[in-house]
Amino acid sequence: MPQQAPAGVAREPRGELNWLHRLFAFFATPGGGLTVLGHIDSEGRRVAVVGSGISGLTAALRLERAGFEVDLIESGDVLGGRMGAAHLGDRPVMLGGKNIGHKYDAFRGFLGALGSYEWQPFGINASMMKEGEVLTLDSTKRNRSINNIRRMGAPRDLAKLLNLVAHIRLEESNKFLGSTYFSKLGSRRDHQPLSAWFGRTLTNTLLRPMTVRMNGAEPDEVYLGNFNTNLALLLDTYDQLTHSIQPALDAMANRVNARLHTKAEGLVISGGRVTGLKLSEKGGPAEEESYDGVVIATPAYATAEIVASELPGLGKRLKDARYFPSSVVVVEYDRPVFTPEVRALAMHDGGPCSNAGSYGMEDRHIVRYTFSGRNGRTGKDGQSLTTAPEQLEEWVGEAEERLTRYLSASRAKRVNSVSRAWDAAYCAYSPFHSEFLTEVRAAVASVPGLELSGDYLWGVSLEACARSGNEAGAKLSHYLTGTSPVRA
């Protein structure tokens, strides 16, 4: 979404002085990089980033590092959004996105810029049920995992899947939404859902655990043109933060002006460019606040509400991105529930629990239960979720019963638990999503001073969200200062 500052509107050219500043900054930066340029032009400029999930945090840090004064606007009472920072007793845990791939360069770059944090390996360990048998995929047991994958579907289906994986391996951009190859595939195939392109066995055994876990959606609710974002996650191996994301959130709160309990209700546009936001603090009336530029880093449906009155066409289109609910309950037991060999189990036996897994490689006495997919939704329309605590209690009881049966383990005693439910936990995109992206990007490019970031632009993974945040921050900085985007 390249944007140019309109002459005499967004930034005042300061003639020769400005030109000399740039030349000096260029040579003063090792390697001739443009990192310090933002600092010169951005001083005293106020920008707002709406949403403090990873899409907003990365955008905010980009802008802060470029020298802007950044307000981080968050309607909730804590930072971090769907990473779901919480506590299980005294222990910090993450109830949402927590597993960080070795290839998560943007996410790791964000953390690295904030401090140094302790990691623990998580690996990939996922087991699926086929005709009562537990088939395990484990990143440390390659041969056995490949054999198990072979047993998960017909050779023809596996060959189709391998072909897609080969494209992702060959070309980095194929890991994310809107890549050339998968956009073309989507334009040919997205008139039918993913489940139409593969046989039932592979769909139930392998594809469903992936879509339900990564999109909260069934295979008949997602599309082939976006499935690269799921497959890409299989090609990585994972770590998690020993002390959760909380220390990084605290570091961010020291770098930007974090405004909790503050809801963005609308954009202010004047002279054809964004000049501010309508903000409501603690449920009070919305008041206008001036900003030189704004990044909206909220899920598509929330972004739609914010832009609706000023940009109705964009607001309407953003509503096409679909979201599905999920609840997560983390329970600590008095003894290990999982074994070192089987640390997570995808359940597709008709119950509401889609996945149960040990919290960490060594934390096999702490189980994270995820309730997602059709059976994990309670709303009448099969979409929304009413998370009565009694309902979750009943679901956990059922899942415990199944787990002990499948793993042939004795039932452990609960010590502690914590839960969270999201009505819109995961983005499942839309059919022909690359067309959606093209239209959204064109609409945003026509409004100087506005950038968007979020899970519907590059993908739902923390890495994809971090990339979209970096991109939005760099573009806004570029527009406001006229310099090249700031490097990570």
Ligand X SMILES: Cc1cc2nc3c(=O)[nH]c(=O)nc-3n(C[C@H](O)[C@H](O)[C@H](O)COP(=O)(O)OP(=O)(O)OC[C@H]3O[C@@H](n4cnc5c(N)ncnc54)[C@H](O)[C@@H]3O)c2cc1C
d(CA 91, CA 73): 27
| Binding residue for ligand X, selected from 145, 326, 355, 378, defined by CB under 6 A | 326
Min dist. Cβ of residue 367 to ligand X (A): 14
Q: Is residue 377 at the binding interface for ligand X, with CB under 6 A as the rule?
A: no
Q: Is residue 183 at the binding interface for ligand X, with CB under 6 A as the rule?
A: no
Neighbours of 295 (CB within 10 A): 34
Q: Is residue 462 at the binding interface for ligand X, with CB under 6 A as the rule?
A: yes
Min dist. Cβ of residue 357 to ligand X (A): 10
User: Among 15-23, 62-70, 187-195, 418-426, which window interacts with ligand X (CB under 6 A)?
Assistant: 418-426
Q: Is residue 121 at the binding interface for ligand X, with CB under 6 A as the rule?
A: no
Q: Is residue 209 at the binding interface for ligand X, with CB under 6 A as the rule?
A: no
Angle subtended at Cα 295 by Cα 252 and Cα 59, rounded to the nearest 5 degrees = 35
Question: Quick one: which of 231, 241, 201, 218 has its CA closest to 94?
Answer: 241
User: Among 37-45, 160-168, 358-366, 419-427, which window interacts with ligand X (CB under 6 A)?
Assistant: 419-427
User: Per 3-state DSSP, what percentage of the chain is helix, strand, and coil (rounded to 5)?
Assistant: 40, 25, 35
Q: Is residue 53 at the binding interface for ligand X, with CB under 6 A as the rule?
A: yes
Contact at 8 Å (CB) between 262 and 74? Answer: yes
d(CA 354, CA 169): 28
Q: Is residue 421 at the binding interface for ligand X, with CB under 6 A as the rule?
A: no
Question: Quick one: which of 185, 190, 187 has its CA closest to 168?
Answer: 185
- Torsion from C-alpha of 97, 101, 106, 109, nearest 10 degrees: 100
Min dist. Cβ of residue 426 to ligand X (A): 6
Min dist. Cβ of residue 85 to ligand X (A): 11
d(CA 313, CA 299): 17
CB within 8 A of 160, min separation 6: which ones? 197, 198
Based on CB atoms, which residue is closest to ligand X, 99 or 378?
99
User: Among 39-47, 294-302, 401-409, 428-436, which window interacts with ligand X (CB under 6 A)?
Assistant: 294-302
Min dist. Cβ of residue 40 to ligand X (A): 30
User: Among 201-209, 377-385, 438-446, 459-467, which window interacts with ligand X (CB under 6 A)?
Assistant: 459-467
Contact at 8 Å (CB) between 136 and 126? Answer: yes
Strand (E) or helix (H) holding 371:
strand 366-372
Angle subtended at Cα 244 by Cα 361 and Cα 264, rounded to the nearest 5 degrees = 140
Based on CB atoms, which residue is closest to ligand X, 54 or 403?
54
Based on CB atoms, which residue is closest to ligand X, 34 or 57?
57
Q: Is residue 51 at the binding interface for ligand X, with CB under 6 A as the rule?
A: yes
Q: Is residue 419 at the binding interface for ligand X, with CB under 6 A as the rule?
A: no
| Binding residue for ligand X, selected from 3, 35, 42, 75, defined by CB under 6 A | 75
Interaction site with ligand X (CB under 6 A): 50-56, 73-76, 81-83, 96-99, 263-264, 297-299, 302, 306, 326, 328, 422, 425-426, 454-455, 460-462, 465
